[in-house]
Amino acid sequence: MKKATKILVIILVFLVVVGFGMFYFFQKIETSLSELSAIEIEDIDLTQIDDGVYEGSYSVFPISVEVKVTVVNHIITDIEITKHDTGQGQPAEVIIDDVLLEQSIDVDIIQGATYSSKVILLAIKDALTV
């Protein structure tokens, strides 16, 4: 009887510790994404950007993006996403087509991939911030 009680207490303590750990983890994600939502993205003045390939990155837990942006004659000619770590944000990667078309990072966010879209735009901004 004593052995069964000890095992039950150990299992209960383990479950409580895991529960608090998961609560902390999800709170951290929620806080990070709330802060991301509050960020306003200012457009870039391409007339100030010389020809070249620029690398940029942006991370906010749990999303991380790295990009290479090619500029020729003050025009963004290519954007390559070299790293995109996220759960379900892969559809956001089509936002680079909008940036290329509009020649601006002031484009609509991809619905259903809001956070990844914003992180991709912030990585592009990081690359082109002179």
- 33-76 pLDDT, tens digit per residue, is 778 887 888 899 999 999 999 999 999 888 999 999 999 999 99
- Taking the C-alpha atoms of residue 117 and residue 130, their distance in angstroms, rounded to an integer, is 22
Report how far residue 80's alpha carbon sits from residue 117's, in angstroms, rounded to the nearest whole number: 14
Tell me: the pLDDT tens digits for 115-128? 899 999 999 999 99
Mean pLDDT, the chain, integer: 88
Q: Which residues pair with 78 in a beta bridge?
A: 70
Output DSSP code: residue 28. Answer: H
pTM over 0.85: no
pLDDT at residue number 5: 84
Cβ contact 115:95 at 8 Å: no
- What are the structural domains, with CATH classification, of the chain? 46-128 (3.90.1010.20)
pLDDT at position 111, please? 86
The predicted model gives 88-110 an average pLDDT of: 90
The pLDDT value recorded for residue 89 is 66
Identify the top-confidence range among 15-19, 72-76, 88-92: 72-76
The reported pLDDT for the residue numbered 34 is 76
Provide the pLDDT for residue 117. Answer: 93
